[in-house]
């Protein structure tokens, strides 16, 4: 076999070639564009004619020869092979059957190699006759965990939407999800839906933002381009939901019309207007008012409403003490919902640490156990209960106190250890169904759990505070509030990086009024003859309000 140059027009087609079906116009256009850009990468294989002619017959590469002619090439390189007895029919069939398309991962690696050699995305797109957006999509694989890439290279690929979600996630997050979702032995398939679902984050789009770039920078919002969105719309988004909603809230506060209010939204997404207010659907009148609110997508919406006319007294004058409601714009909450949940997690971790390590007298330990059994997350059921997990959790502590014959057999150290473990399992201050309620706060105060709280001067927690709450946190420190919220946060993080700062909302001591109400309601519960509660309709609300006037609690570094 040797290489030579020939005029492609002089080559004859092989009547015994395997691929007789005409190729698609798209495939021919791709090959033509490639030949025009970089030439013929792999020379066609030809063989001498066996019918007595002096020319060459095409063995492999009919499409390359055809598109070289279409590209106007006068001469191409070919490999001359010996003529086969079957006119090359078997070689043609084997080559076409054994050929395999490059998988997307190998395509991406090849593109990255071209980029490293100086090719631009536009030039690669022209050479391959592909849209530039397709090249950009393939380059998203650079953001995928290498272990996932290795699996994708085997042919098990996620769909476009799933790939977008995976590529948008942090590599550490991908690693954690992949540990759970990677295929088991004997199962070559991955549930890409489960992988993408585990990495999906709510997106807030720039096109829905009313605020400008100044507030975006103040709330540390970084816009990311969505390469899969239609080209004719603003596809920038952020997953920093708290920052987006905070910036929207501040924009509404700054742009609220005179006598306007910022309204809440109920669980069904409907705006909650003041009592007796009627929504105005047509053109608002001079006395009508404006309400702004955030819908479920985080967009600022505006509606108008009308309050009833003030009642008139007997002398015909308007009653100044009428039904008109004093309306005040609702500012951003001192601590956001995410911040309240973070406080619950930090409180619970500190409480458990204190229960495990802090000094507790024996009489106090028994009192705490009684308190723990009064927690809102504790359910005492009959022997017919199917709640095996709840029993198993406590039974593993109880068996440490019982001998082989069923008698109590323990020393005080074993009793103390079992008591502490039972308290840790029973008590929680988290913002979900495991919340023990006010008793967790009382126990935390009793054992000094506040000393086990970590430094809360972190970017993650401080981003949950409003501007006013953040500036109040600078009190009694050398940190001065900055013009931008993010700069104030950064200064506080830097100031306390060697010390410890705890926000007042995370302290354990319960509010005196709520404690008194709990004591009164708990004492007033009526019991029937069997000792069961008759009426508990006035139980405490699940969520505790945060005191906006609380001042931060600071502890210097040891």
The CATH number covering residue 26 comes to 3.90.1530.10
What is the count of structural domains for the chain? Answer: 3
Tens digits of per-residue pLDDT, 231-265?
778 888 888 888 898 899 889 988 988 888 888 88
pTM above 0.95, yes or no: no
Q: How far apart are CA 220 and CA 493, in angstroms?
A: 15
Do 301 and 373 share a domain, yes or no?
Answer: no
Match 């659907």 to its residue by tokens. 281
Tens digits of per-residue pLDDT, 190-239?
888 888 888 877 788 999 999 999 889 888 888 988 766 777 788 888 88
Match 């063995």 to its residue by tokens. 59
Contact 301, 293 (CB under 8 A): yes
Do 267 and 361 share a domain, yes or no?
Answer: no
Which of 277-286, 323-332, 361-370, 390-399 has the least mean pLDDT?
323-332
State residue 136's pLDDT score.
81
Q: CA angle at residue 339 from 375 to 462, to 5 degrees?
A: 140
Classify residue 191: in a domain, yes or no: no
Give φ, ψ of 57 to 5 degrees. -110, 140
Write down the mean pLDDT value for the chain: 78
Candidates 71, 76, 69; CA nearest to 9 is 69
State residue 557's pLDDT score.
36
SS3 211: coil
State residue 206's pLDDT score.
92
Domain boundary among 306, 329, 345: 306
Give φ, ψ of 143 to 5 degrees. -95, 10
Do 341 and 301 share a domain, yes or no?
Answer: no
Q: How far apart are CA 404 and CA 212, in angstroms?
A: 72
Which residues have a Cβ under 8 Å from the Cβ of 452 and sit 6 or more positions away?
349, 350, 351, 353, 354, 357, 358
Which residues have a Cβ under 8 Å from the Cβ of 1 and sit 6 or more positions away?
79, 80, 81, 82
Where in the sequence is the domain holding 65, given as residue range(s)?
2-98
Tens digits of per-residue pLDDT, 451-478?
999 999 998 899 888 888 888 888 888 8
pLDDT(311) > 90 = no
Do 433 and 504 share a domain, yes or no?
Answer: yes
6 - beta bridge partners?
Answer: 76
Q: CA angle at residue 59 from 53 to 63, to 5 degrees?
A: 115
Classify residue 92: in a domain, yes or no: yes
SS3 5: strand
Q: What's the token pair of residue 148?
A: 């996932």
Candidates 135, 173, 174; CA nearest to 158 is 174
Classify residue 182: in a domain, yes or no: no
Do 481 and 432 share a domain, yes or no?
Answer: yes
State residue 226's pLDDT score.
77
Classify residue 370: in a domain, yes or no: yes
Do 343 and 246 share a domain, yes or no?
Answer: no
Classify residue 138: in a domain, yes or no: no
Classify residue 120: in a domain, yes or no: no
Which of 220-229, 333-342, 357-366, 367-376 has the least mean pLDDT?
367-376
Band (pLDDT 50/70/90 cuts) for residue 151 is: confident
Do 262 and 355 share a domain, yes or no?
Answer: no
Tens digits of per-residue pLDDT, 312-323?
655 555 554 444
């Amino acid at each position: 076999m040797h290489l030579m140059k020939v005029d492609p027009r002089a080559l004859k087609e092989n009547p015994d070639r395997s691929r007789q079906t005409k190729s698609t116009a798209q495939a021919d256009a791709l090959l033509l564009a490639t030949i025009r850009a970089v030439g013929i990468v792999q020379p066609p294989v030809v063989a001498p004619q066996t019918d007595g002619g002096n020319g060459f017959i095409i063995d492999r590469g009919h499409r390359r020869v055809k598109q070289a002619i279409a590209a106007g090439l006068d001469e191409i390189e070919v490999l001359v092979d010996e003529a086969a007895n079957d006119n090359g029919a078997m070689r043609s069939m084997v080559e076409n059957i054994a050929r395999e398309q490059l998988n997307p991962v190998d395509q991406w690696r090849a593109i990255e190699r071209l980029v490293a050699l100086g090719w631009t995305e536009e030039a690669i797109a022209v050479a391959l006759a592909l849209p530039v957006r397709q090249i950009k999509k393939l380059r998203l694989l650079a953001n995928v965990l290498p272990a996932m890439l290795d699996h994708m290279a085997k042919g098990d690929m996620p769909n476009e939407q799933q790939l977008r979600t995976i590529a948008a996630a942090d590599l550490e997050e991908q690693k954690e999800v992949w540990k759970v979702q990677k295929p088991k032995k004997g199962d070559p398939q991955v549930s890409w839906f489960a992988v993408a679902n585990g990495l999906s984050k709510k997106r807030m789009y720039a096109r829905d933002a009313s605020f400008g770039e100044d507030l975006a920078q103040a709330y540390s919002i970084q816009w990311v381009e969505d390469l899969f969105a239609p080209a004719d719309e603003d596809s920038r988004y952020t997953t920093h939901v708290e920052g987006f909603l905070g910036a929207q809230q501040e924009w509404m506060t700054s742009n609220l019309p005179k006598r306007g209010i910022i309204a809440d939204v109920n669980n069904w997404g409907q705006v909650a207007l003041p009592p007796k207010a009627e929504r105005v659907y047509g053109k608002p009148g001079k006395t009508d008012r404006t309400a702004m609110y955030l819908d479920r997508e985080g967009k600022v919406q505006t509606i108008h409403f009308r309050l009833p006319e003030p009642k008139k007294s007997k002398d015909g004058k308007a009653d100044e003490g009428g039904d008109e409601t004093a309306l005040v714009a609702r500012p951003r909450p001192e601590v956001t919902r995410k911040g309240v949940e973070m406080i619950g997690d930090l409180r619970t971790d500190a409480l458990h640490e204190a229960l495990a390590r802090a000094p507790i007298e024996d009489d106090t330990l028994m009192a705490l156990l009684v308190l723990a059994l009064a927690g809102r997350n504790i359910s005492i059921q009959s022997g017919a209960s199917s709640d095996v997990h709840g029993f198993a959790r406590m039974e593993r502590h109880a068996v440490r106190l019982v001998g082989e014959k069923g008698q109590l057999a323990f020393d005080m150290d074993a009793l103390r250890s079992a008591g502490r473990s039972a308290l840790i399992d029973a008590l929680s201050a988290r913002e979900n169904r495991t919340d023990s309620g006010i008793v967790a706060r009382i126990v935390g105060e009793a054992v000094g759990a506040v000393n086990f709280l970590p430094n809360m001067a972190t970017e993650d927690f401080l981003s949950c505070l409003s501007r006013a709450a953040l500036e109040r946190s600078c009190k009694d420190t050398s940190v001065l509030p900055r013009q931008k919220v993010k700069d104030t946060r950064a200064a506080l993080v830097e100031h306390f990086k060697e010390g410890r700062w705890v926000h007042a909302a995370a302290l354990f001591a319960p509010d005196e009024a709520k404690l008194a109400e709990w004591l009164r309601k708990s004492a007033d519960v009526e019991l029937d003859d069997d000792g069961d509660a008759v009426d508990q309709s006035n139980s405490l609300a699940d969520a505790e309000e945060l005191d906006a006037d609380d001042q931060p609690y600071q502890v210097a570094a040891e």
